[in-house]
Homo-oligomer: A and B are copies of this chain.
Amino acid sequence: MIGEQYLLLPGPTPVPDRVVRAMSRPLVNHRGPEFKEIITGVTAGIKKVYRTEHHVLIYPASGTGGLEAAVVNFISPGDKVLAISIGVFGDRFAEIADRFGARVEKIDFAWGTSADPQKIRDILQKDQSHQIKAILITQNETSTGVFNDIKSISEARGSHPALLMIDSVSGLAVVDLKMDDWNLDVVISGSQKAFMIPPGLSFMAFNEKALEVHRTCSNSRFYWDLDLGMKYLEKGQNPVTPPISLYYGLAEALTMMFEEGLDQVLARHLNYRNMIRSAMRAMGLELLAEEHCASTALTSVIAPGRSGANQLRKILLEEFNIAMAGGQLSLDDVIFRIGHLGYIRELDLLSVIAALEIVLKKNGYDLEVGAGINEAQRFLYQMHSK
């Protein structure tokens, strides 16, 4: 098919040409001065994105690796942890903790809604003997397109000493996060989302309180070991051989993010969300996520009649070269997920809305073709008239 694919997944996301070029540079010695400069620079850059003055380690791994790193560095076998899940990735974080011997108390919220801070406050207040050592929560739940209000969750913790550990793999730089201001102890992120580079790197930020807990953490670890990581970072190195090309890409992507400005990056994603959601509503489509917690990274749209989402995705791919994600588990074939994070152009989203209208109409959905793009264009007009 002519032209590049519209990659509208909730990760991996399109890689900017500048980043591709940066990644194409010849490799260097990962124990030499050039790499030292790179790792020092990107570590400082990532801290800015996390809005933290504390520590950041970069792992050669996918985002899930970062979650495992958080578990084995800060949770000991036998520790009670409170795992808050609003979807597949909340379940995954809980499962990793369970696999590494934690006693997991899991609270689930319905798919499509966010976690209720009041419920968490209640649970923690009842835990007067402070049995709960850590709280695990996903910031942006990719499986449903919902974000949790991490600031309120942190406030709900109050004076309870449990570590607050955030899976922000698909959230960071898409949904606002202020690690230090919000008093978050451990935050994990990944490279293939708002960081605009291919998958393969995971970031773990942690504060002094987490470091204190780490000192007595008895889980087995080597690859993820924080002490090794910090020891080598002091030398400007990684304990293992790092994915050098991805570091090149990361340095360039951070430059682009700071050129744009972090606040503007967040505002742009908010606009994408609002544009897509208003267009979907204008097309008469039902949205999975409630308004107050709808993700700025992706939008989950319920297929007409609650089925046939996969067939729609198949036609969009075959006829328009548009790649979208489907639903997982109970949402399989029920929803399709439009990713709108990272290096996306607003007009590409308009095009996708147009294609979706055509495909829906062809498939027998009663729709006035044009309703969606007219709404999207109206939205863009207002944005550009400000």
Q: Which residues of A contact B (CB under 8 A)?
A: 4-5, 7, 9, 11-15, 20, 23-24, 26-32, 60-65, 68, 77, 95-96, 99-101, 190, 192, 198-200, 219-223, 239-246, 317, 323, 325
Contacts and interface: CB of A to CB of B under 8 A. Distances in A.
Contact of A29 (B64, B222, B243, B325): B325
Given A27-B14, A28-B5, A32-B323, A192 B63 contact: no
B27 A223 contact: no
A220 B99 contact: yes
A204 to B, nearest CB: 13
Nearest to A77: B220
A200 B31 contact: no
A222 B71 CA distance: 11
Given A11-B241, A241-B190, A220 B24 contact: no
Contacts of A239: 64
Nearest to A221: B99
A198 B26 CA distance: 9
Given A96-B222, A222-B96, A244-B12, A60 B27 contact: no
Number of copies of this protein chain within its complex:
2
Contact of A30 (B12, B61, B95, B246): B12
A32 to B, nearest CB: 7
Contacts of A325: 29, 31
Top 4 closest pairs, chain A to chain B, by CB: A200-B243, A62-B240, A64-B240, A198-B245
A77 to B, nearest CB: 8
Contacts of A199: 30, 60, 241-244
A68 B225 CA distance: 12
A44 to B, nearest CB: 22
Contacts of A32: 317, 323
A14 B26 contact: yes
A27 B11 CA distance: 10
A68 B99 contact: no
A149 B29 CA distance: 29
Contact of A12 (B11, B95, B241, B317): B241
Contacts of A223: 61, 64-65, 68, 96
A26 B9 CA distance: 13
6 contacts: A12-B30, A13-B27, A23-B245, A100-B220, A192-B241, A198-B246
A246 to B, nearest CB: 6
Contacts of A13: 27
